[in-house]
């Protein structure tokens, strides 16, 4: 007789179109019956509850990578496909791919750039850019919130931070969109080819930028990375390329999707939008509920690096893979009363696990919070009668959770 865990595992299919159409009822049912389940076909253990996901994020016996402690055979991992070498090279020194001590060394350097003062200094440029982007559409009356506003806004701010000139923003967006498809559960060969090509383009561009900044330094992050000294040495070009790529890819996809998903939630719950318009809830508080209610990143994984790891009563052997379901955890009634209610004034919304936790906790969270607060406030103030012009369609992918477009009437 098979256990309940295994049976639920067969039914749960995070790649099925019916699931992707509205995952929350199924995620809730799963969370209530099954805190942890082994999925035979996907070769992973899914973790569903808030406290367990939180604990996994902080457990140092779990790693984003295993290659510092074991071989691919031991971990039964597919070898990295050499056809996508440019993509793997780009990931090689990414914070998201590293574990200590390399992770500690590079993270310390990047963290030095995210001081509260430097993040606060982005508020004014963010306000300016949000208004500039919105201006031409106020007369036209309609826009695609993602393409016309959220994408150029978010990419504009992260590029300003990095030191990438305006005329390259669209290239970076295209490269980033192509590369992040490699994080999905069912990447196609066509997507992998495109991701690899994008990684080549991105690498060549960052190498150019490094050479330029060596010649003529500026006050930007690429210059800081070029000039940084760590443990008596400098960062290699490969380390700088990976760091710029991860900052850009991690730094805009999730922010754009938070705004898209969030505006959809607000338009479906008009009374909550009204609380922002009448000023009874500040935009900064609402941002936390937007991330809790419909997080832009639904799943993160860890490798089990040691024996003896227990998750929700299940002993998970070394070499296995754990997938944490953020959308399930963020609607756990044990953490959030009436979790399916969208409430922009929710007192403890900030306890969502949308930014992760532990050593890989989102390094850009303070910047993301400023960006989102400013863009949401600008929309509320300048377009209080905002409406969906059409019901937005989901991108049929689970991990990076977003909408294809969000057509809005500005009112
Ligand atoms: C709403 C927006 C955002 C969300 C929801 C988000 C979420 C996350 C999460 C969940 C992680 C941890 C992944 C893990 O534990 O496996 C993470 C890591 C990271 N995020 Fe964000 N992020 C956002 C915005 C940003 C921004 C604006 C930046 C950069 C400016 C950024 C840069 C990074 C980087 C570099 C990491 C890797 C950190 C490490 O591994 O040490 N993120 N993010």
Indicate which atom in ligand 1 lies nearest the CA of residue 114.
Answer: 30
> Best mutation site among 62, 364, 375, 399 for ligand 1, i.e. most ligand atoms within 8 A of its Cβ?
364
Q: How far apart are CA 10 and CA 233, in angstroms?
A: 51
Tens digits of per-residue pLDDT, 146-201? Answer: 999 999 999 999 999 999 998 999 999 899 989 988 888 788 999 999 999 999 99
pTM for the whole thing?
0.94
Q: How far apart are CA 136 and CA 153, in angstroms?
A: 14
Residue found under tokens 């295994």 = 6
Q: How confident is the model at residue 2 (pLDDT cuts 50, 70, 90)?
A: very low
Strand-pair partners of 309: 316
Single out the residue of 320, 326, 324, 288 nearest to residue 306, CA to CA.
320
Residue ranges around ligand 1 (CB below 6 Å): 57, 64, 95-96, 107, 158, 246-247, 250-251, 254-255, 258, 291, 296-297, 300, 354-356, 360, 362-364, 367-368
Q: What is the residue with the minimal CA distance to atom 17 of ligand 1? A: 362
362 CA → ligand 1 middle, Å: 4
Per-residue burial over 143-166, b if 16 or more Cβ lie within 10 Å, else e, is bbbbebbbbbbbbbbbbbbbbbee
Q: How far apart are CA 136 and CA 147, in angstroms?
A: 14
Tens digits of per-residue pLDDT, 13-55? Answer: 998 999 999 999 999 999 999 999 999 888 999 999 999 999 9
Task: Mark out the alpha helices in 59-168 (DSSP H runs).
Answer: 85-91, 102-113, 116-120, 123-140, 151-162
């Amino acid at each position: 007789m098979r256990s309940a865990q295994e049976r639920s595992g067969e039914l749960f299919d995070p790649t099925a179109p019916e699931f992707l159409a509205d995952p929350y009822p199924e995620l809730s049912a799963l969370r209530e019956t099954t805190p942890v389940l082994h999925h035979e076909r996907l070769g992973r253990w899914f973790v569903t509850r808030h406290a367990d996901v939180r604990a996994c994020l902080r457990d140092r016996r779990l790693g984003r990578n295993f290659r510092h402690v074991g071989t691919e055979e031991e971990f039964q991992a597919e070898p990295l496909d050499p056809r996508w070498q440019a993509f793997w090279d780009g990931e090689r020194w990414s914070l998201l791919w590293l574990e200590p001590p390399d992770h500690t060394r590079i993270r310390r350097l990047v963290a030095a750039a995210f001081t509260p003062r430097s993040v606060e200094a982005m508020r004014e440029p963010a306000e300016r850019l949000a208004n500039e982007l919105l201006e031409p559409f106020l007369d036209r009356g309609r826009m695609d919130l993602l393409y016309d506003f959220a994408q150029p806004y978010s990419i504009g701010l992260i590029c300003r931070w990095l030191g990438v000139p305006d005329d390259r923003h669209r290239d970076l967006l295209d490269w980033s969109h192509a590369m992040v498809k490699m994080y999905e559960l069912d990447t196609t060969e066509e997507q992998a080819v495109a991701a690899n090509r994008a990684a080549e383009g991105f690498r060549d561009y960052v190498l150019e930028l490094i050479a330029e900044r060596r010649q003529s330094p500026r006050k930007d992050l690429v210059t800081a990375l070029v000039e940084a000294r760590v443990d008596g040495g400098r960062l290699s070009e490969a380390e700088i390329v990976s760091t710029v790529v991860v900052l850009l890819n991690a730094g805009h996809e999730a922010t754009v999707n938070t705004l898209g998903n969030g505006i959809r939630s607000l338009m479906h719950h008009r009374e909550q939008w009204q609380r922002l318009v009448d000023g009874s809830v500040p935009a900064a508080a609402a941002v936390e509920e937007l991330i809790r209610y419909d997080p832009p990143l639904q799943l993160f994984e860890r490798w089990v690096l040691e024996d003896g790891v227990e998750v929700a009563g299940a002993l998970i052997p070394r070499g296995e893979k754990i997938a944490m379901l953020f959308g399930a955890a963020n609607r756990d009634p044990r953490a959030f009363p009436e979790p399916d209610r969208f409430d922009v004034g929710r007192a403890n919304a900030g306890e969502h696990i949308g930014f992760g936790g532990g050593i890989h906790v989102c390094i850009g969270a303070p910047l993301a919070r400023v960006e989102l607060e400013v863009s949401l406030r600008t929309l509320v103030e300048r377009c209080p009668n905002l409406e969906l012009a059409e019901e937005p369609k989901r991108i049929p992918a689970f991990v990076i959770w977003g909408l294809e477009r969000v057509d809005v009437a500005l009112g």
